[in-house]
Amino acid sequence: MRAIALIVRVISGLNALVGNIFSWLSLAIVLVCFTVVVQRYVFATSYVWMQDLYIWLNGAMFTAVAGFALLRNDHVRVDIFYRPASIRRKAVIDIIGVIFFLLPFCWVVFAYGWPFVARSWRIQEASANVGGMPGLFILKTFILAFAGLIALQGIAMVLRSILVLNGKEELLPEKLRYERQDTAPAEVSV
């Protein structure tokens, strides 16, 4: 059980790290896009690569932080029955969801996406826009990273559920347990 708790902590730590780093891309999107606007309207110049850049940063950001968002329980749930459910019940739902929905999805994205990304690396694919960004293959790789990071976090969810069902949730630090997540109303919903 301690080993399981350790794995949960390692995976969650990884996604927290990735999430904390890649969240800053949102500020970068703002700054790059603003620069493009200023160049365009004030100096009547623009660079195709910069127009690619802020768009790509968004793609990189939202795929990279997906596992982190899962860790933070930010992905919306239909919570009519889920919110009032007991923690054991939530644990069971998460096991079912990860095994039957999340992991197959990750597998499909990964398996069908792999040749797509590998080819892009082989030809060192750049932006389709002439004068655009190099390194489209890196952006495409984020599709695989997305699948990998949420699969890992999914596995962490299953392991946490196992701890819960064995009455060993206290092996996890407070912030990785279930209780914490129900105190505040979900902030999102746009």
Partner 1 sequence: MDPVFVGELLSGLMFFGIIGFLLLGFPVAFTLAGVSLMFGFVGMWFGVFDPSNFGSLANRYIGFMTNEVLVAVPLFIFMGVILERSKIAEQLLLTMGKLFGNLRGGLGMSVIVVGALLAASTGVVGATVVTMGLISLPAMLRANYDPRLASGVICASGTLGQIIPPSTVLIFMGDMLSGINSQVQMAKGNFAPTPVSVGDLFAGALLPGILLVGLYLAWSVAKAIFDPESCPATPVPPDEKKELLGEIAVALVPPLLLIMTVLGSILGGIATPTEAASVGAVGAMVLAALRWRLSFRVLREAAISTASITCMVFIILFGASVFSIVFRLMGGDSLVHEFLTNLPGGTLMAVAVVMLIMFLLGFILDTFEIIFIVIPITAPILLALDVDPVWLGVLVGVNLQTSFLTPPFGFALFYLRGVAPSSVSTAMIYRGVIPFVVLQLIAIAIMFAFPQIATWLPRAIYN
Partner 2 sequence: QGNQTWRMVTTWPKNFPGLGVGAQRLADRITAASGGRLTIQVYAAGELVPPLQSLDAVIDGSAEMSHGAAYYWQNKSIALSFFTGVPYGMTSREMAAWVRYMGGQELWDEIYDQFGVQGFLSGDTGTQAGGWFRNELTGLSDVQGIRFRTPGLGGRVWEKLGATVTNMAAGEIFQALQSGTLDAAEFVGPYNDLALGFYQVCKNYYFPSFIEPGLATELVVDKAKYQELPTDLQAIIRDCSQAEYDQVASDFYANDPRALKTLVDEHGVIVRTFPDDILQAGADAAVEILTELRDSDDALTKKTTESFLDALSVLRTRSESTDGAYMQAREKFFKI
Applying the rule CB under 8 A, the residues between 82 and 121 that interact with partner 1 are 82-83, 85, 90, 93-94, 96-98, 100-102, 104-105, 108-109, 112-113, 116-117
Taking CB within 5 to 8 Å according to partner kind, which of partner 1, partner 2, none is near residue 181? Answer: none
42 makes contact with partner 2 (CB under 8 A): no
Nearer to partner 1, 6 or 99 (CB): 99
Residue 7 near residue 162 (C-beta atoms within 8 A):
no
Burial of 16 (0-12, 13-18, 19+ CB in 10 A): middle
DSSP 15-81: HHHHHHHHTTHHHHHHHHHHHHHHHHHHSS---HHHHHHHHHHHHHHHHHTHHHHHHTT-S----TT
Among 76, 128, 184, 190, interactor with partner 2 by CB under 8 A? 128
Nearer to partner 2, 101 or 116 (CB): 116
Residues that bind partner 2 (CB under 8 A): 40, 44-46, 48, 51, 112, 115-116, 119, 123, 125-132, 136
